[in-house]
Structure 1
Amino acid sequence: MTVTVQVLFDHPQHEIASLLRDRLTRCAKASLVAGFMTVEGIEAIAAPLRAHPGKLAHLVVGAATWRAFDALDRLLVAGVAPTALHVHLGHTRPTGTNRHPFARYHPMLHSKVNLLDMGDGQAAAFVGSHNLTGFALHGKNGEAGVLLEGPANAPQFVALRQHLHEAVRQAVPYDPGMKEAYAWWTMQFIDGLYAEANGDLPKDAENMRTILVLAAYTCGRLPRPGQIIYFEIPEALDRIQSMQAEVHIYVFPTLPPTSSLALASLGTAIARLSCKVEGIEAGRGGIELRADWHIENRRRPELKPTVLPFRPTPASGMQQVRVRVQGPVAGQYEYLFDPGKIAWAPIYDREGALVATPDEESARETELALFDTPARVDAPWQRVRGLQRAKPAGSDARQLALWESTPDSEAFILFSPRRRKLTPRRERSERADTP
């Protein structure tokens, strides 16, 4: 008799808890290995183990929450042998520093194997990505695995038993008095992973405020050093910030359809003008101003020579800015439109939501009975189809003005609080990525 293989499943989000409970109910012995465990996960399969505690030969976990370890205590109370429970603490190494004397982000046990002795010389094994968590077992995570069934002496099951025995050998026996220590060890890994992910973010940006103007140009001549250019920005950005900011004006023969595309195409600009703020007028105070050029319409700006006398009619809520051309922009920059800590928000897909299964409803009732915790909101999990910068509250005029001066607002006169000077290698990469 050969080993049969069933792929689990043809859809990534598919509950597996009922299938695993069924095999646990019918098996003679069970050995489980998981990289991560939560209380929702262990409770999803705990009923047959509490009913027949002698079935559990081994349970090895690589990391878990405090409440998950507390759930192991309830298995001990139900009669599971203390020798069956193990915690794999992974591998780490000394760092030689006082702040973090060991590597927090470290290799860990990440196996997902559920090996079941079904009696009469038969075995079954769930092998695959499902950890012992509620999201995995109740079909909320995208997961994949296989179910093997066949003779217990088949090579596949022999290899899995060897894998499991080695995991047990490397682990330490579970000690109920060490729950806090085990949970702390889990948090050390999570904190180390956070530091690792955060450490990958570029940190070479300079906090130089830049007013950025992306404009079309149809005249035969370009602004010269010493000439003055007029445009408008929101008053809520405030006068002081605007006076301290540098001004970079990029002139295109044809303006790209969006400011994001224009920013990606700065290398194609026919002029890159570095300017200094000459003066700012608020409250429509600039009745007649000296200017050689002006830029109208923040949504589709065009650089035009002024007609004297120059008497602009600023829009409500805008401040009038005049800048003097100093010369070309030195080097190339990546302009950033966040203060350094970016707030992102998910873009929801209204279709394909994940709803609670009957198993989850039952688990929620059990959780309430065990922990006396408030009921969780049973709202569907909506698929996220993208990320966008979080829009500021509309009541905060300045924050709204900052958002309206980013590419997300589709404006072409922008305010960048930070920028990153591109090295020659990065300049080539940026040009290669330009559409």
Structure 2
Amino acid sequence: MTGPESPRGTAEQQRSTSDQPWPVRVVSQKVSAWIGKLGWVWVDGQVAQISRRPGASTVFLTLRDPSADLSLTVTTNRDVLDAGAPELAEGARVVLHAKPEFYAARGTLSLRADEIRQVGLGELLARLEQLKKLLAAEGLFDRSRKRRPPFLPGRIGLITGRASAAERDVLTNARRRWPAVEFRTVNVAVQGPTAVPQMIDALKVLDADPTIDVILIARGGGGVEDLLPFSDEALCRAVFACRTPVVSAIGHETDIPLLDYVADVRASTPTDAAKRIVPDLGEEMRLIRQARQRLDRAVIGFVDREEHRLGGLRSRPVLARPAVMLEQRAVDAAALRDRARRCLDHRLATASGDLRHTLARLRALSPAATLDRGYAIVQRADGHVVRAAADVAKGDSVRVRLAEGELAATVDG
């Protein structure tokens, strides 16, 4: 580390070493010299404290940056303050023209202001709109990352003002809806220069508590300046970093600080927040009764349909009269048997008639029939039928066959 010349001379212009360390006064002088090179700057911050001593021309301000939780002391002339911000109060936002000064004797850094401007509402809204665009571009408002609080949280973390109407509304309405609900309440300042760091600390404590299922940040109504802590960049980023779902319930329905865009759920009022994170016991019991009634109707309907189906199955002939199929088959078999008998009888009758006709023709053609009419058949001894007289000679033996019996004869001539 090197710096401007010090009263000790050239030996102190060299780099410090363990053998040649710099005295505290040298370090303080070098720091003062480096800060002095910064010159006059414009500074934006929030007034945390104002100290006006009666009869003194110097006014002391404590200017802080809520996002960085950093404070600086500002000294200015009473006339400068009265000219630029005559009604300046704690918690106001200011822009001042100042020169950083380092007091070597005390080792403190402060600002000496020669012009102070209180930021108006229009300028505040413009800055909030610019911050809103920045956070939106970084994805802090992205709907896809928002988490849904549990249906019935076991324990709710509540960040709100001490003994405030918002705390009373949340606790009363939540317990009215679900008497067994549990809260862990952390009371913080919800307005003024200490609001943002206290709320960030409360967020860290509740987010680290494994019994907390959802965190609720609640505040009653107020002006734009009163709700500025809930549009602070540091608070928005702290809510975005929480692992536990966060519900925002700030002011009235028309009040929409930047915290509402970052939170997982935005409630229009603290009462609305209680309704959103805690179910209504009476309504849930009614829904359970309706569900049970629907279930009963469904079961009864199912049983009735199955009874009708079983009744239809029992009424079918195959189950009502199992012998019907056998009886039908028995009838069919009897009919086939009768038909076969009739066919066989017809075939036999036809065959019998044909046989009689054949037999009649046979008999008509048979020699026996001729014999019956008184004729006879003469056969030689060798069995040949004698058809002519020349077929035999005198003295030949012949056989005469009659209708009844036969005769042996000898040819005489």
TM-score range, shorter chain: under 0.3
TM-score by length of 1: 0.21
More helix by share: 2
The one of the two structures with greater contact order (alpha-carbon pairs below 8 A, sep at least 6) is 1
Q: Computing the radius of gyration over CA atoms, which structure comes out larger, 1 or 2?
A: 2
TM-score by length of 2: 0.21
